């Protein structure tokens, strides 16, 4: 029996790689083989899923303080997580953020560093941002934008959100008051008009342009391609080829709900496995919205209790997979 472990992270308890190794241990315990392929949807974890950091560059943080941002360059392909340069975690979360002042300038500096280091394809994951600046900061750091014509710039979007809608949907999570949300929306509306006039692209009509507070739209105005994050990662790691001939694929994340099937890892893995005729097992901390009807799923909290599932997450995952494989 051959298993493919293709999980997302369990936020706050385990990385995707750690979850994958737990599945591999379970496979070994029953005499099966396992290929571990940590996944991500364009948000946090994308850098690790695509090989991990092998470079570090000092850039401008979201509120102006310098931060050392890890990134990857290999065979002409760079992988950048905007959260490592302009992320909410860098300012201590919503309470430490200034949602109006927060800038993506450092992300632009990181893209520029990748270009100057010789990258010809740059993948930018855009989850976990502190910003709602519409990507203006990043574009300022990238001037002159004409140089980007020499590189393939791909934005791995973790949401399908429209450009202007980024204010209402995500700015409150970044510390914005209702008055600040209204201000940010107006700013995005003006910026969308500016991008249309200067670059000829109406980002308001572009799916995913609101990712990372509009950073995706700003980069699109500069010539980037916006693509669903899961599909970018799946293509880069050759997930379809790895699934061919497998007897089971194990995926999972911390919380399984309807959104898990809207461009996220579990839904993407399940869809791809279905096309290839590979059975799926989803392991999650908790399962909501009755989505267990959409894919065979095990909720760790229900199976082991909240305390054990939070403290011994990897042991619980290993036990669940052993049970599934032993009964197969």
- What are φ and ψ of residue 202, in 5° steps? -90, 95
Same domain, 120 and 139: yes
Asked which of 210, 231, 252 is the last residue of a domain, the reply is 231
The owner of tokens 């905007």 is 82
Q: Tokens 């097992």 appear where? A: 281
Last residue of a domain, one of 198, 231, 264: 231
pLDDT of residue 268: 96
User: Residue 6: which domain range?
Assistant: 2-39+238-327
Residue pair 134/205 in contact (Cβ under 8 Å)? The answer is: no
Residue 328: predicted pLDDT: 52
Residue 327: the pLDDT is 80
> How is residue 256 written in tokens?
């399984």
The answer on 165 and 65 residing in a single domain is yes
Distance set, CA 318 to CA 20, 70, 324 (Å) = 10, 30, 10
CA 151/CA 2 separation, integer angstroms: 39
- Of 231, 253, 282, which one is at a domain's C-terminal end? 231
pLDDT of residue 293: 81
Helix axes 211-221, 178-199, angle to 10 degrees: 10
Residue 183 sits in the same domain as residue 268: no
Token digits of residue 36: 């571990």
Cα torsion through 38, 43, 44, 45, rounded to 10: 10
Are 20 and 169 contained in the same domain? no
What are the tokens at 208? 């995913």
Regions in the chain scoring below 70 on pLDDT: 328
The structural domain count of the chain equals 2
Contact 97, 69 (CB under 8 A): no
63 lies in the same domain as 174 = yes
């Amino acid at each position: 029996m051959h298993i493919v472990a293709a999980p997302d992270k369990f936020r706050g308890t385990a990385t995707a790689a750690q979850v994958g190794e737990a599945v591999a241990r379970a496979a070994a315990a029953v005499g099966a083989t396992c290929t571990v392929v940590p996944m991500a949807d364009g948000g946090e974890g994308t850098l690790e899923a695509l090989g991990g950091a092998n470079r570090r560059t000092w850039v401008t943080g979201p509120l102006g303080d310098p931060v050392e941002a890890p990134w990857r360059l290999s065979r002409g392909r760079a992988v950048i997580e905007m959260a490592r340069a302009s992320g909410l975690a860098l300012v201590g979360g919503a309470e430490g953020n200034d949602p109006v002042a927060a800038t993506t300038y450092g992300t632009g500096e990181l893209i520029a560093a990748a270009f100057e280091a010789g990258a010809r394809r740059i993948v930018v994951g855009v989850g976990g941002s502190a910003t709602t600046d519409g990507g203006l900061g990043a574009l300022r750091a990238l001037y002159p934008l004409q140089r980007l014509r020499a590189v393939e710039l791909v934005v791995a979007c973790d949401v399908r959100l429209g450009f202007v809608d980024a204010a209402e949907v995500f700015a409150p999570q970044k510390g914005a008051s209702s008055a600040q949300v209204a201000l940010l929306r107006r700013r995005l509306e003006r910026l969308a008009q500016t991008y249309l006039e200067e670059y000829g692209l109406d980002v308001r009509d572009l799916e995913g342009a609101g990712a990372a507070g509009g950073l995706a739209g700003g980069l699109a105005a500069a010539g980037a391609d916006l693509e669903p994050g899961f599909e970018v990662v799946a293509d880069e790691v050759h997930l379809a080829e790895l699934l061919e001939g497998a007897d089971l694929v194990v995926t999972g994340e911390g919380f399984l709900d309807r959104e898990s099937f809207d461009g996220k890892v579990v839904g993407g893995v399940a869809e791809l496995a279905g096309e290839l005729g590979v059975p799926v097992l989803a392991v999650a901390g908790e399962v909501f919205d009755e989505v267990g009807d959409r894919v065979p799923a095990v909720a760790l909290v229900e199976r082991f209790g909240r305390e054990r599932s939070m403290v011994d997450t990897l042991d619980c995952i290993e036990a669940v997979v052993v049970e599934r494989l032993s009964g197969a």
